Each structure stands twice: as C-alpha cells, then as structure tokens.
Amino acid sequence: MHRNTTFLIVGLAIFAAIVTGVNLAKVEQNTPIENKLQSPPEVTPTPQPITYLTHTDPGCQISFTLPDTLDFTLNKNGGGIVQNQNRETTIGCTKIKTKLTNPDVFETLFIGSISAFLVSPEATSSNATHSLLFTHPFTKQEVRLTGQESEVIKIAETMQFTKPAEK
C-alpha cells in the first residue's frame, strides 16, 4: 500500500475515534445521576382498603361505625374512648341533662330526626374540643360526644340507637 494511503486511513481512524469519544462524553453528561447509580426501581406500597367496624355500647344503648384504624375502648358503666394516634373522642351518657343557656356557644344539628347541640370550645374548659349533646330517644339519657368537631360529627352520623330490653 502506498504511504499516502496509509496516512489517510490512520488519519481517518484517529478522527473517527475523536468524534466518537466526544459524542460519548456528551451523552454521559446528559444522563441523570440516578441512571448512573443503577438504583433499584422505587416500589410504592398499595394502600390497604379501609374496613369499618360497628361498635356497640350496651350501657348507653348505642352503636356506631368506625374505620378499623381507630380504637374504641368501652367503659364498664357505659360510654368509652375512641382513639386515633394522639387524638381522642369520648362518649358518655348520663341521666343528668346539661342546661345550655347561652345560644351563642352552641348550634343545633340533627342526627336523623333527633335534635342535637354542638357546643363550641368557648363554652368548655378546653380550647380544642367540641361537645355534641342529645337525648337518647328510648332511654331519655343525655349522650355526650366530646372531641374534635369533625370526628364528633362523623361518629354521630353513624350512630344507631337501641331500645332497652323490656323488663
């Protein structure tokens, strides 16, 4: 082979190597660091479906439905505590009726056809709680739910009243 042809082939090979190297460097620069590390693909957990449980309070003659993420502890004499992480809602019943005299601190709501009073925090000693008061349609006891307004209303919306057994 002629000497000039050899120089031409070697020159073209060097040029091709330089062009290929520069292009590889550009592709490497544009690749995100995450792709360079070859980390495993991210797995997102699928949320578990929420199931609801019905709780019955034989002392207060009521039942209500809660998500299984909430715990309900029944008191011996009726009533109980619904707990969710650091919040709790108390449920109780008594024959003594609360007298509400200042209409500025409560509003009237209905649980089905039963009139209830949502008492604002200004009327209670705690700044974070609301109380929902209503009279049980069969036992005539006052039922009181105390806690955050949204949770108190959610519990009240699912409440069912049971008739005491005839004596």
Enumerate the domain spans of the chain: 3-37, 52-161
Q: What is the pLDDT of residues 78-109, one digit of tens each?
A: 888 888 877 888 899 888 888 777 766 788 88
Alpha-carbon dihedral of residues 67, 145, 59, 76, nearest 10 degrees? 80
Q: How confident is the model at residue 142 (pLDDT cuts 50, 70, 90)?
A: very high
Residue 31: per-residue pLDDT: 55
Does the structural domain 52-161 have CATH classification 3.40.50.1820?
no
Residue 32: per-residue pLDDT: 59
Residue 162: per-residue pLDDT: 87
Return the minimum-mean-pLDDT range out of 52-61, 85-94, 105-114, 117-126: 117-126
- Please tell me whether the overall predicted TM-score, pTM, comes out greater than 0.85 for this model: no
- Residue 100 phi/psi, 5° resolution? -100, 115
Give, as one character, the DSSP assignment of residue 118.
Answer: E
Q: Residue 160 to residues 10, 13, 43, 77, 84: CA-CA distances in angstroms?
A: 92, 87, 42, 19, 22
Mean pLDDT of 2-15: 82
Asked if residues 100 and 117 have their Cβ atoms less than 8 Å apart, the reply is yes
Mean pLDDT of 35-46: 69
The answer on pLDDT for 52 being more than 60 is yes
